[in-house]
Chain A
Amino acid sequence: MQNRTLKSRLLATPHLVWSAIFVVVPLVMVVYYSLTGAEGSFTLDNIKQIPKYFDTFLLSIWLGLLATAISLLLAYPLAYFISQSKFNVQQTMITLVMLPMWMNFLLRTYSWMTILENNGIINTILTSIGLQPLHLINTRGAVVLGMVYDFIPYMILPIYSVMVKLDRSLIEACEDLGGNKVDVFRRVIMPNSTSGVISGVTMVFVPSVSTFYISQKLGGTNTLLIGDVIESQFMTSNNYHMGAALSLILMVLILVCLAVMNHFSGEDDIEQGRLAV
């Protein structure tokens, strides 16, 4: 018996070895490259150059936060609506939300160019009904729109999956105790969906902050994000050491942002949510 469990515990070993080589060692590589120069000797030059990119980091985080907030505002009511629908409406809606994710995201983003361009679809419609055309493409707004568009399914799905598991008797209990619709929402639905909101926020914020494709296509040359800088360090200037240093800072910043968000969402609420679910 002892022998049997010992053996099956070892089954995780290949995964651990794999992760050590291809997950942990690469991260050590990032640290190593960011602390060395082209000749391979130790240097802090790369780190010292980071303040030059302060504005870029700030802009990336700001746009990422904006996209995350808009996604949350749009996704939350929808997730609630879906979770309250009939079973087959739920199935259909969730499939419809997931389906766009199977279409290549580069092409979907590229397609927004056709819609937003100066002589694109929106402006063609505007001028044909006699309105002034708008300047939409190559703005920060367009970049945020692209982020929201590409990542909003990742916000809808986790919130929905928490809400759908919510015990209906909790809502009834709240109503029985004299609560109105606002009370039900504030005291039952909100605190019990925190865990879904947290995973949604993480899944939208992380790719938004680090994107380089969306900003290249929809932001033009005046919206340079940190992802763009890292990409060009690796693919155009071939300065792996600077690129590694920037990635290291990006990684740390994202971890800090997530920790702060987790902190503000309140530890107690999460516990409550877990208990009720």
Chain B
Amino acid sequence: MKRKRSVLMPVYAVLILVFLYAPILVLVVYSFNAANSTAQLHGFSLKWYRELFHDAATLDAFRNTMILAVSSSLISGVLGTVSAVGIFKMKNKWVKNVTRGVTNIPMMNPDIVTGISMMLLFVFAGRMLGRTGVLGFPTMLIAHITFCLPYVILSVLPKLRQTDVNLSEAAQDLGCTPIQSFFKVVLPAILPGVLTGVMIAFTLSLDDFVISYFVSGPTSQTLPIRIFAMTKKRVTPDMYALSTIMFFAILFLLIIINYIQMRGEKKQIEKVKY
């Protein structure tokens, strides 16, 4: 029984991984395709990688996506950390529950509802102010901050619960102002949670299509929106080239993060020893 399972399960795991990676493999292979096709293979070529760097619209969309992801993850990182501290300190149960409920809404609602509800707000506000064409980069930034915030808060809160409350009080007894004690004692303790939150926010923002689709204007294309427009007609293989590059960039980043984490754990173990 035991031996049978030890062969069966790894095979099963590999099959699931094949399922998960088959379409990605197809993308990578077709990005090196010599023909101008996403259906037939005609030998190896780097043509689409060269083409990519001459496709102004795609590069523009890539730049927009990166600016949006960096700014929304940083802003929601700061705002989310500050709010998490506030929520953690809340004493009133009722206020706490309401806050938790409101925080959960963007996570529970389907993306399409979040997207159209914000679109309606922006269009309505625009009409009230007598302006048309309100949808653009600012509205996308607002939307991204809104759906990233809960994830930052939910990754910071558990770290706050693990932190000893006495520490920040001790720091204040020793002459720190509350702000100093936050930066010297609390922040270092919750930093891993903050970083995780910012990481999640960054990836969510980078990959978001549905919400951005509804709140973006014609002037502010992001990569997912451009890809969507392309898949309505025909995707050129330079999109495959770009996503191949991004895929390997993220793989590389993950390996580095893993390495740093492992070193951090080792250091902590050493610290405990002494």
Query: Contact residues of A with B, CB < 8 Å?
Result: 4-5, 7-16, 18-20, 22-27, 29-30, 33, 74, 77-78, 81-82, 91, 93, 95-97, 99-112, 114-115, 117, 119-121, 149, 152-153, 181, 202, 206-207, 209-210, 212-213, 217, 227, 230-231, 234, 240, 243-244, 247, 250-251, 254
Q: Does B196 contact A (CB under 8 A)?
A: no
Q: Chain A residues with Cβ under 8 A from B74's Cβ?
A: none
Looking across the interface, which residue of chain A has its beta carbon closest to that of B249?
A102
Q: Chain A residues with Cβ under 8 A from B12's Cβ?
A: 77-78, 81
Q: Measured between C-beta atoms, what is the minimum distance from B184 to chain A in Å?
A: 16
Looking across the interface, which residue of chain B has its beta carbon closest to that of A112?
B23
Given contacts A18-B79, A23-B102, contact A4 B178 (CB under 8 A): yes
Q: Chain B residues with Cβ under 8 A from A209's Cβ?
A: 110
Given contacts A30-B116, A106-B224, contact A206 B108 (CB under 8 A): yes
Given contacts A26-B121, A81-B13, A105-B209, contact A111 B26 (CB under 8 A): yes
A152 to B111, CA, bound (A): 17
A239 to B189, CA, bound (A): 50
Q: Does B240 contact A (CB under 8 A)?
A: yes
Q: A22 near B142 (CB under 8 angstroms)?
A: yes
Contacts A12-B87, A119-B39 aside, 12 further interface pairs with beta carbons under 8 A come to A7-B178, A13-B86, A14-B83, A23-B106, A30-B117, A99-B247, A103-B243, A107-B227, A213-B228, A227-B112, A234-B214, A247-B112
Q: Chain B residues with Cβ under 8 A from A152's Cβ?
A: 16, 20
Q: Does B187 contact A (CB under 8 A)?
A: no
Q: Chain A residues with Cβ under 8 A from B109's Cβ?
A: 206, 251
Partner of A25, one of B27, B85, B121, B228: B121
Q: Chain B residues with Cβ under 8 A from A18's Cβ?
A: 79, 145-146, 149
Looking across the interface, which residue of chain A has its beta carbon closest to that of B82?
A11
A250 to B254, CA, bound (A): 37
- The 28 listed contacts between A and B (C-beta, < 8 Å) are A4-B178, A8-B89, A8-B178, A9-B89, A10-B86, A12-B87, A14-B79, A16-B99, A16-B102, A19-B102, A19-B105, A23-B106, A30-B120, A81-B13, A97-B20, A100-B24, A102-B207, A103-B247, A104-B223, A104-B243, A110-B235, A121-B26, A206-B109, A206-B110, A209-B110, A213-B209, A250-B110, A250-B112
Given contacts A19-B103, A22-B142, A81-B9, contact A102 B203 (CB under 8 A): yes
A106 to B225, CA, bound (A): 9
Interface members, chain B 65-112 (any A CB < 8 Å): 79-80, 82-83, 85-87, 89-91, 99, 102-103, 105-106, 108-112
Given contacts A25-B121, A96-B17, A114-B39, contact A101 B79 (CB under 8 A): no
Q: Does B272 contact A (CB under 8 A)?
A: no
Q: Does B194 contact A (CB under 8 A)?
A: no
Q: A12 near B108 (CB under 8 angstroms)?
A: no
Q: A240 near B86 (CB under 8 angstroms)?
A: no
A23 to B101, CA, bound (A): 11
Q: Does B22 contact A (CB under 8 A)?
A: yes
Q: Chain B residues with Cβ under 8 A from A227's Cβ?
A: 112
Partner of B110, one of A7, A22, A115, A254: A254
Q: Chain B residues with Cβ under 8 A from A206's Cβ?
A: 108-110
Q: Chain A residues with Cβ under 8 A from B44's Cβ?
A: none
Q: Does B246 contact A (CB under 8 A)?
A: yes
Q: A240 near B123 (CB under 8 angstroms)?
A: yes
Q: A29 near B112 (CB under 8 angstroms)?
A: no
Partner of B30, one of A19, A97, A114: A114
Q: Does B191 contact A (CB under 8 A)?
A: no
Q: Chain B residues with Cβ under 8 A from A99's Cβ?
A: 247, 250-251, 254
Q: Measured between C-beta atoms, what is the minimum distance from A93 to chain B in Å?
A: 7
Q: B23 near A217 (CB under 8 angstroms)?
A: no
